[in-house]
Protein backbone atom coordinates (compact mmCIF):
# COMPACT_ATOMS: atom_id res chain seq x y z
CA UNK A 1 0.00 0.00 0.00
CA UNK A 2 2.76 2.49 0.96
CA UNK A 3 4.70 1.71 -2.17
CA UNK A 4 1.58 2.37 -4.29
CA UNK A 5 0.87 5.67 -2.52
CA UNK A 6 4.52 6.70 -2.85
CA UNK A 7 4.42 5.87 -6.55
CA UNK A 8 1.30 7.97 -7.08
CA UNK A 9 2.74 10.94 -5.18
CA UNK A 10 6.04 10.70 -7.06
CA UNK A 11 4.29 10.41 -10.39
CA UNK A 12 2.11 13.46 -9.67
CA UNK A 13 5.12 15.52 -8.54
CA UNK A 14 7.18 14.44 -11.56
CA UNK A 15 4.34 15.31 -13.92
CA UNK A 16 4.02 18.78 -12.39
CA UNK A 17 7.77 19.45 -12.56
CA UNK A 18 7.86 18.17 -16.15
CA UNK A 19 5.08 20.55 -17.20
CA UNK A 20 6.82 23.52 -15.56
CA UNK A 21 10.18 22.64 -17.13
CA UNK A 22 8.60 22.04 -20.54
CA UNK A 23 6.80 25.38 -20.41
CA UNK A 24 10.03 27.19 -19.50
CA UNK A 25 11.95 25.41 -22.26
CA UNK A 26 9.25 26.15 -24.83
CA UNK A 27 9.05 29.81 -23.85
CA UNK A 28 12.81 30.25 -24.08
CA UNK A 29 13.20 28.58 -27.46
CA UNK A 30 10.03 30.12 -28.84
CA UNK A 31 11.33 33.57 -27.91
CA UNK A 32 14.66 32.86 -29.60
CA UNK A 33 12.95 31.69 -32.77
CA UNK A 34 10.61 34.70 -32.75
CA UNK A 35 13.55 37.04 -32.32
CA UNK A 36 15.38 35.42 -35.22
CA UNK A 37 12.38 35.57 -37.56
CA UNK A 38 11.68 39.16 -36.54
CA UNK A 39 15.28 40.08 -37.38
CA UNK A 40 14.99 38.45 -40.81
CA UNK A 41 11.70 40.19 -41.56
CA UNK A 42 12.97 43.61 -40.48
CA UNK A 43 16.12 43.12 -42.53
CA UNK A 44 14.15 42.07 -45.62
CA UNK A 45 11.61 44.89 -45.37
CA UNK A 46 14.35 47.49 -44.92
CA UNK A 47 16.29 46.29 -47.94
CA UNK A 48 13.11 46.04 -49.96
CA UNK A 49 12.38 49.71 -49.29
CA UNK A 50 15.96 50.70 -50.12
CA UNK A 51 16.07 48.76 -53.38
CA UNK A 52 12.66 49.94 -54.61
CA UNK A 53 13.99 53.50 -54.69
CA UNK A 54 16.71 52.45 -57.16
CA UNK A 55 15.45 51.57 -60.62
CA UNK A 56 18.50 49.60 -61.78
CA UNK A 57 17.95 46.39 -63.70
CA UNK A 58 20.35 44.67 -61.27
CA UNK A 59 17.97 45.13 -58.38
CA UNK A 60 15.08 43.12 -59.82
CA UNK A 61 16.73 39.80 -58.95
CA UNK A 62 17.53 41.04 -55.45
CA UNK A 63 13.95 42.26 -54.99
CA UNK A 64 12.57 38.89 -56.11
CA UNK A 65 14.75 37.12 -53.54
CA UNK A 66 13.69 39.59 -50.83
CA UNK A 67 10.02 39.15 -51.73
CA UNK A 68 10.48 35.38 -51.58
CA UNK A 69 12.03 35.66 -48.10
CA UNK A 70 9.23 37.95 -46.92
CA UNK A 71 6.64 35.52 -48.29
CA UNK A 72 8.27 32.57 -46.52
CA UNK A 73 8.28 34.47 -43.24
CA UNK A 74 4.65 35.54 -43.61
CA UNK A 75 3.57 31.94 -44.29
CA UNK A 76 5.50 30.63 -41.26
CA UNK A 77 3.06 29.09 -38.71
CA UNK A 78 3.83 31.16 -35.59
CA UNK A 79 0.76 30.03 -33.70
CA UNK A 80 1.16 26.25 -34.18
CA UNK A 81 3.90 24.65 -32.01
CA UNK A 82 2.83 21.19 -33.21
CA UNK A 83 3.60 22.00 -36.86
CA UNK A 84 5.58 19.02 -38.14
CA UNK A 85 7.80 20.91 -40.57
CA UNK A 86 8.73 23.73 -38.18
CA UNK A 87 12.47 23.02 -38.19
CA UNK A 88 12.50 22.30 -41.92
CA UNK A 89 10.77 25.58 -42.75
CA UNK A 90 13.05 27.46 -40.37
CA UNK A 91 16.10 26.03 -42.16
CA UNK A 92 14.64 27.13 -45.51
CA UNK A 93 14.17 30.66 -44.16
CA UNK A 94 17.74 30.70 -42.86
CA UNK A 95 19.00 29.49 -46.23
CA UNK A 96 17.04 32.14 -48.11
CA UNK A 97 18.34 34.80 -45.72
CA UNK A 98 21.93 33.70 -46.40
CA UNK A 99 21.24 33.78 -50.14
CA UNK A 100 19.83 37.31 -49.91
CA UNK A 101 22.79 38.47 -47.83
CA UNK A 102 25.15 37.03 -50.41
CA UNK A 103 23.33 38.83 -53.23
CA UNK A 104 23.42 42.11 -51.31
CA UNK A 105 27.05 41.57 -50.28
CA UNK A 106 26.12 41.95 -46.61
CA UNK A 107 27.49 39.93 -43.68
CA UNK A 108 25.05 37.56 -41.96
CA UNK A 109 25.52 38.66 -38.38
CA UNK A 110 22.39 37.60 -36.52
CA UNK A 111 23.12 36.83 -32.86
CA UNK A 112 20.70 35.82 -30.14
CA UNK A 113 20.03 38.18 -27.25
CA UNK A 114 22.28 36.14 -24.97
CA UNK A 115 25.32 36.98 -27.09
CA UNK A 116 25.14 40.76 -26.82
CA UNK A 117 28.30 42.74 -26.62
CA UNK A 118 28.83 45.29 -23.91
CA UNK A 119 28.90 49.02 -24.59
CA UNK A 120 32.23 50.77 -24.44
CA UNK A 121 33.01 54.46 -24.60
Query: For position 95, what pLDDT does the model report?
Result: 94
Per the structure, how many domains does the chain have? 1
Give per-residue pLDDT as tens, 49-65: 988 877 667 788 889 99
Can you give the residue range of the structural domain that contains 34? 1-104
5 is a domain residue: yes
114 is a domain residue: no
115 is a domain residue: no
28 is a domain residue: yes
118 is a domain residue: no
Q: Could you tell me which of 28, 102, 32 has the C-alpha nearest to residue 65? A: 102
109 is a domain residue: no
Distance between CA 27 and CA 32 in Å, rounded?
A: 9
Least confident of 9-23, 31-45, 84-98, 101-115: 101-115
| pLDDT of 85 strictly over 60 | yes
117 is a domain residue: no
110 is a domain residue: no
Average the pLDDT over 82-101 and give the result.
91
Q: What is the pTM of this model?
A: 0.74
Q: Is 29 left (phi over 0), alpha (psi -120 to 50) or beta?
A: alpha
Long-range CB contacts for residues 95-100, cutoff 8 Å, separation at least 24 = 96/65, 96/68, 96/69, 96/72, 97/40, 97/43, 97/44, 97/69, 99/65, 100/44, 100/47, 100/62, 100/65, 100/66, 100/69
Distance between CA 105 and CA 20 in Å, rounded?
A: 44
Amino acid sequence: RFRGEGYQEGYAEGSHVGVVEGRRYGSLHGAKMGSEIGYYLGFALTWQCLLQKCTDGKNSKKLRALNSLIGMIQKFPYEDPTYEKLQEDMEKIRGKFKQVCSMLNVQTDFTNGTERSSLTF
